[in-house]
Amino acid sequence: MAKRRLFTSAGKHVMGMDLPDPETLRRWWPHGSSRWA
């Protein structure tokens, strides 16, 4: 569930959530936050 909510507003939740490292985020969003912005 946490992942689903994160993907809904990744661009806005990613900064407010306690994610691992920027490298891990790149694996989830290879396109970058531009696509989720």
Which one has a higher pLDDT value, 28 or 36?
28
Helices marked H in 1-37 = 2-8, 10-16, 22-28, 33-36
pLDDT band at 22 (very low <50, low <70, confident <90, very high): confident
Determine the pLDDT at residue 37: 45
Listed in sequence order, the residues at least 6 apart from 7 whose beta carbon sits closer than 8 Å to its beta carbon are 36
Spatial separation of the C-alpha atoms in residues 37 and 26, rounded to whole Å: 14
Q: How many CB atoms lie within 10 A of CB 15?
A: 9
- Given a cut of 60, whether residue 21 has pLDDT beyond it is yes
